[in-house]
A and B are shown apart, each in its own frame.
Chain A
Amino acid sequence: MSKVYKIKKGLDIKLAGEAERTLTEFSATHVALKPTDFIGVFPKLLVQEGDVVKAGDPVFCDKAHPEVLFTSPVHGKVAEIVRGPKRILLEIKIELLTPETYTDFGKANPSNLTREEIISKMLQSGVWPMIRQRPYSVIANPADKPKAIFISGFDTAPLAPDYDFIVHGQGDVFQTGIDALKKLTNDKIYLNLPDGMVNSKVLTNTRGVEINHFSGPHPAGNVGTQIALLCPINKGDVIWYLRPQEVIIIGKLFAEGRYNARRIIAVCGSEVRKPKYYKVPGGVGIKKLLAGNVNESDVRFISGNVLTGTRLEPDGYLGFYDSQITVIPEGDYHEFLGWSMPRLHKHSFSRSYFSWLTPDKHYVADTNLNGGVRALVMTGQFEQVFPFDIYPTQLLKSIIYNDIDEMEKLGIYEVDEEDFALCEYIDTSKTEIQSIVRQGLNSLRAEMS
């Protein structure tokens, strides 16, 4: 069944500061749950400051779906509840207590459980939010029956962690996780791997999935790209997706009977002195994690990759879905006649710079916008990094003038902001494309509900 899909349109942005393949166990003191990580969730707080929670105890739930619980990744004390403007719940900070204690959800072999029992266990323990759905890229609705479940087994984003390295030695729990997911859909689970993955047999030996191989530049590893080729979304379809680490956490829930939210993350970027992998609890605080390992200049901390990640304060916390912390320099400087210079140290998709002559060079990219915001003038550029059978400019414009019909016709169900990240990166006019796509998805979701 296995087939290699070649992605031709796209762009690999090679940045300096790739994580070295060594793993360090990190003993965290603080973690946080951030309701803002979950699109479309209106949180209802279930704890107060000072409460002690075990790993797996509920912290908040979704007002619209009270059965979807968000639970503590660690055993600890609720140290602070941070609210933003209009009392928006931003962070629930939890200070770790020893010894590690977990709420017991009971070991079970998923093959012996019914669909309902599996879903209920996942909801209770707080692993359910790890399953997201297309369209809209929101947490899956437990009442839905998805057309398929997608797992992208690799990440092609800049400085992305190597999943082959991350899942090493966890074959059994991964398989348990897959067995549980298998019960959730009548259709297939697609596991998508890079062409020529050889090191670890963890992913390649998985049973009960359809394995397909992908080659080519970013966004070959994006689940959106893979869905578009294997099982394109039509209006009304729902596809669930998750990442291998999340499958492992789900697997551990059944194998160990507890919510073990430890994950392996890559700490990377040009401003990290020793970029490498760490084993951390979910939502780990980055202040202690990065202490002494970051250059002392004006830097930006990002949870996730440079294209789609979330900006963090220096004392911020890892995002729920992220397996990567990136640190890059801020770009708050004026460059004399910069637009007319050769700029050999800068990367560009445009051949009016010279980075296309040095495809193997790794660049230090900063956060400068590199120009002013303009009207969309250039055409045909997005199409070169957008491997969908969709007209990106026209779809964006339909979102800007908020024509729901037009958005549907032009294929908005097949995409989310992540799929447009490269378009935003290469855009000459410096338009905030990912925000526009999210805005479109939100108004569509509001219209449909």
Chain B
Amino acid sequence: MKALRKLLDNIKPHVQPGGKFEKFHSTFDAFETFLFVPNTVTHKGSHIRDSIDLKRTMSVVVIALIPALLFGMYNVGYWHFASLGQEVSFMQTFTFGLLKVLPLVIVSYVSGLGVEFIFAQVRGHEVNEGFLVTGMLIPLVMPVDVPLWMVAVATIFAVTIGKEAFGGTGMNVFNPALLARAFVFFAYPAKITGDYIWTAGLSGGTGIIDGFSGATPLGLASAGQMDKIPAINELLLGFIPGSIGETSKIAILIGAAILLLTGVGSWRIMLSGLLGGLSMTLIFNAAGANAYMELSPMTQILMGSFLFGIVFMATDPVTAAQTSRGKWIYGFLVGMFAIMIRVFNPAYPEGTMLAILLMNAFAPLIDHYVIEANISKRLKRALKASNS
């Protein structure tokens, strides 16, 4: 480690402002602080500081996403070979998925971090760790057959317009990963909808066995084929077609456990989101106007990206409501709208993405009213004191 430290210390003068390679200052800084916690000491205020930093916080989220990523890889291979009607070993299945998914992950990280590094350099900031999570979320919410260039374009769009234009990490209004997903959906509707994009190789259309559909449970539901929706345990285990990271609810729940145990993810949002989804389903059940409305709450919750969205996307601290009471309201409405959009919107089978983006937009308003209540409470107290 000493040799590495020495190497960095040797390079450092050249990348400082005024040095030969000052354009790489932020980039160097990002790598240096990744390798070594800086030797900065406290100057003002509290002399000691908590061991937590944004790198650790974000890496906890990345770790929480890994079960979903690994299962996603296996599931990609599983459906690919299922569509071809081939029986292959576990390793072959996983390797196929790995080779399909890894390029998506790399493209997302490289394009997104590239933008981040440039902006950090121009602004003279340190590179923010927020994209470590976004970069992992983007491939996980994509269908496997999405072209790589599309992922790159969507990522660059999301980071530039969705985040940096607002002032960078901590200032953005919309969840960048969802923005990337929405960009792909709205910019290339023909390539990202339908039943064939969820299985690797299916869009090529060669060698597919007869009768293989590749439709997601949500696709089936919106087509009215309720009898074909997989059973609860299949939805739970995740051997179903869908976006890469969303299918295994077990993997998502492991991630949720990590987030909740470490306190990194907001339990208020997760719980209220779940309650919101359940209440909406129960309302639909009571109304019972069509077959979709009559789906059981369990099926609704386990279908599609509802859980993935509630656990990993709605809990993004920057774009969610910031006050505790606001988080309850925000989460509950995310859950309600996700189910409502799913059931009512004929154009797009999944409602979670739109529900979260919609509530991202309303989160500051929710907080505003929560804080106004606190302010008026304080004013009332002052009035009471001055009257007595």
Contact = CB atoms under 8 A, between A and B. Distances in A.
B375 to A, nearest CB: 5
B38 A334 contact: yes
30 contacts: A13-B48, A234-B386, A237-B385, A302-B47, A308-B46, A309-B47, A328-B48, A333-B39, A336-B4, A340-B56, A347-B51, A350-B50, A350-B262, A350-B263, A352-B263, A374-B128, A375-B128, A377-B169, A378-B54, A379-B317, A379-B318, A380-B266, A380-B268, A389-B378, A394-B322, A410-B375, A424-B46, A428-B52, A430-B49, A432-B45
B57 A353 contact: no
Interface in B247-280: 261-264, 266, 268
Given A351-B261, A370-B50, A380 B128 contact: no
Contact of B37 (A302, A309, A339, A435): A339
Given A367-B41, A368-B42, A429-B54, 19 more contacts: A307-B48, A331-B39, A335-B37, A336-B35, A339-B37, A339-B55, A349-B50, A350-B264, A353-B51, A369-B40, A369-B42, A370-B50, A371-B37, A374-B54, A375-B170, A377-B128, A377-B170, A421-B45, A432-B43
A234 B383 CA distance: 9
A433 B320 CA distance: 23
A366 B56 CA distance: 19
Contacts of A331: 39, 41-42
Contact of B48 (A232, A333, A366, A389): A366
A348 B262 CA distance: 11
With most chain A CB atoms within 10 A of its CB, the pick from B41, B46, B262 is: B46
Interface of A: 13, 158, 232, 234-235, 237, 300, 302, 306-309, 311, 326, 328, 330-340, 343, 346-353, 365-380, 383, 389-391, 393-394, 409-411, 417, 421, 424-430, 432-435
B20 interface: no
Given A332-B41, A337-B35, A380-B266, A411 B378 contact: yes
Contacts of A429: 54, 170
B47 A311 contact: yes
In the A-B complex, the 4 residue pairs with the closest CB atoms: A371-B53, A375-B170, A338-B37, A234-B382
Contact of B264 (A330, A352, A367, A430): A352
A151 B166 CA distance: 47
Interface of B: 1, 4-5, 33-57, 59-60, 126, 128-130, 168-171, 261-264, 266, 268, 317-318, 320, 322-324, 327, 367, 371, 374-375, 377-379, 381-382, 385-386
Contacts of A347: 50-51
Contact of B51 (A307, A370, A373, A380): A370
Contacts of A409: 375, 378-379
A424 B327 CA distance: 23
Given A339-B56, A428-B57, A370 B378 contact: no
Contacts of B382: 234-235
B46 A434 contact: yes
B53 A368 contact: no
A378 B317 contact: yes
B120 to A, nearest CB: 11
A421 B48 CA distance: 10
A92 B371 CA distance: 47
A370 B37 contact: yes
Nearest to A345: B51
With most chain A CB atoms within 10 A of its CB, the pick from B5, B60, B317 is: B317
Contacts of B263: 350-352
Given A377-B170, A380-B317, A391-B371, A338 B36 contact: yes
A432 B381 contact: no
A383 B324 contact: yes
Nearest to B374: A391
Contacts of B44: 432, 434-435
Nearest to A426: B50
B33 to A, nearest CB: 6
Nearest to B376: A409
With most chain A CB atoms within 10 A of its CB, the pick from B33, B55, B59 is: B55
Nearest to A331: B41
Contacts of A366: 48
A234 B53 contact: no
A393 B322 contact: yes
B324 A425 contact: no
A425 B317 contact: no
A421 B46 contact: yes
Contact of B169 (A306, A374, A390, A421): A374
A384 to B, nearest CB: 9
With most chain A CB atoms within 10 A of its CB, the pick from B51, B54, B170, B377 is: B51
Given A235-B382, A370-B52, A391-B371, A334 B46 contact: no
A223 to B, nearest CB: 18
Contact of B52 (A158, A367, A426): A426
With most chain A CB atoms within 10 A of its CB, the pick from B49, B57, B327 is: B49
Nearest to A375: B170
Contacts of A367: 41-42, 47-48
Contact of B56 (A326, A350, A410): A350
A308 B46 CA distance: 6
Given A428-B53, A434-B45, A375 B37 contact: no
A332 B40 CA distance: 6
B37 A368 contact: yes
A277 B367 CA distance: 48
Given A232-B381, A330-B41, A417-B45, A336 B1 contact: yes
Contacts of B130: 377
A334 B378 contact: no
Contact of B36 (A232, A336, A353, A375): A336
A410 B54 CA distance: 27
A371 B54 contact: yes
B168 A352 contact: no
B48 A339 contact: no
